[in-house]
Amino acid sequence: MEYEIIYENDTELAALEAIERGYRSDVIVEIGGKKYKVCIMSMIRLQQEFKAERKCYGYYCADPNMLLVEDATKEEIEKVIKAAFEEKYFEKLDNRGF
Q: Where are the domains of the chain?
A: 3-92
pLDDT tier, 14 (very low <50, low <70, confident <90, very high otherwise): very high
pLDDT at position 98 is 55
pLDDT at position 92 is 84
Q: Of the candidates 42, 39, 30, 23, which has an alpha carbon nearest to the alpha carbon of residue 85?
A: 30
Burial class (CB in 10 A: 0-12, 13-18, 19+), 46: middle
pLDDT at position 31 is 94
What does pLDDT average to over the chain?
93
pLDDT at position 76 is 97
42 bridge partner residues: 69
Share above pLDDT 70 across residues of the chain, in percent, rounded to a whole number: 95
Per-residue model confidence as pLDDT tens digits over 56-89 = 999 999 888 999 999 999 999 999 999 999 999 9
Interatomic CA distance for residues 78 and 27, integer angstroms = 10
Q: Where are the beta strands (DSSP E) in the chain?
A: 3-7, 23-31, 34-42, 66-69
